[in-house]
Amino acid sequence: MPTLFTVSLVLLGALMLLHRYELVSGRRFGAVARRWLDHYSHAGIAGTVTALTHCTEFMRRDVFLRVLHLTSYVALVSVRFVERRLARITEFLHSVGRAGKRSVARSKARNSRRSDS
């Protein structure tokens, strides 16, 4: 670990000395190679930025669609819940109505038998 730190310090010092040399002499050290490297690094950075832009756009769309899907799913489940409750209530009311009609018909039949006798 100390070796890595020492190497990093030596490279940093060499970079600072090289920069100082370029400022004093007024010319760039390895100008052709650095121009070539600058060109390709800018092209790489532009490609990376484009890829990140496409990635964020895809993620934004994907998140929006997932939220939309979840919202529609919750709406569907809640409608099904209400539908089941209403079906049970309707079934109960129909059974009460039938039982009420039967009891009314029975009482009418009893009353008509009593009046006949």
- Could you read off the pLDDT tens digit of each residue along the chain, which spans 117 residues? 789 999 999 999 999 999 898 889 888 888 888 889 999 999 999 999 999 999 999 999 999 999 999 999 999 999 999 999 999 999 998 888 776 666 666 666 666 666 665
pLDDT (0 to 100) of residue 104: 62
Q: Please, what's the b/e burial string for 19-53 (b: 16 or more CB within 10 A of its CB; e: otherwise)? A: eeeeeeeeeeeeeeeeeeeeeeeeeeeeeeeeeee
The domain locations on the chain are: 24-116
